[in-house]
Amino acid sequence: DIQFKLQDDSFFELEEAEDYSYVDPKLFIEEVNENKLSEISLQSITENDANTQITRKRNGVLINSMRAFYLRNYSNSDSKLIKCDCCESVTFITNNNYAYLEFHHLIPFSTDSGPDHYLNLFGICPNCHRKLHYLQKIEKPSLYENLSDNNNMQKTIIFRINKLFNEKALEPIHLDFLKKEKVINHEQYDRLINNLEIINIT
C-alpha cells in the first residue's frame, strides 16, 4: 500500500502500532495513583523537550500506568469492563483477561506535538478513537463535549487544559490546535495566550 501511494504521490497517514491489551503485571504490585501518573508525565515531557520532533517518543510506561490505573479504579466489579471516556459504552475482555481500552491524546502527540501527559489522555473505545482521528471536523465538537462530560476521571477538558497550562506543558501550537478543533473558543484562547487561566464559557 505504501509503495503504491508513493508512486501516485498520494497523501497517506502512518500510525504507530500499539498493543492496546497489554498491562505490565508489576504495575498492580505498586500503587498507581494520580501523583505517580503526574510524576511519569512530567518526566516524559522533560525527555521529549530535549529531543527533536522526529525523535519524540510516546512513553510506554505512562500508557501502561494509565491502563493499570483505569483497571484498578474504573473496572466494573462484576464484569471487569470499563466505560469509554467518550460514549460510555464498554468494549470487551481480552484473552489476557483485561478490559480492552485505547488511549487517545486530546492534543495529538505525533501531528501536533501534544504533551505525553496523563491529563492529555483519555481511555476510549476503538470506535470513538477512530472518530476522533478521522471524523469530519464539523461533527467533532460533540465528541469533545462527551470527553469532557463522561470521562472516568471526572476532570473536564477545561480543568485539564488549565492544569496543563499551569504545569507549563502547553505551547502556542497546542492552543492553536485546541482553537482550530473548537475545543476552546477565541476568548479562552486569548486568555491562555496572555498567560491567564481559561474560564468555562458556554
pLDDT digits (tens, 9 = 90+) for 2-42: 555 556 655 545 455 565 656 665 565 568 999 999 999 99
Q: Tell me, what's the pLDDT at 195? A: 82
> Within 10 Å of residue 145's Cβ, how many Cβ atoms?
14
Looking at 18-22, 108-112, 151-155, which range is the least confident one?
18-22
Instruction: Tell me the three cell numbers of residue 59.
Output: 512513553
d(CA 161, CA 183): 10
Does residue 57 contact residue 51 with C-beta atoms inside 8 Å?
A: yes
Q: Tell me, what's the pLDDT at 19? A: 58
pLDDT digits (tens, 9 = 90+) for 75-101: 999 999 999 999 999 999 998 888 999
pLDDT digits (tens, 9 = 90+) for 40-73: 999 988 887 766 555 678 888 999 999 999 999 9
The more confidently predicted of residues 26 and 181 is 181
Longest dimension (CA), the chain: 52
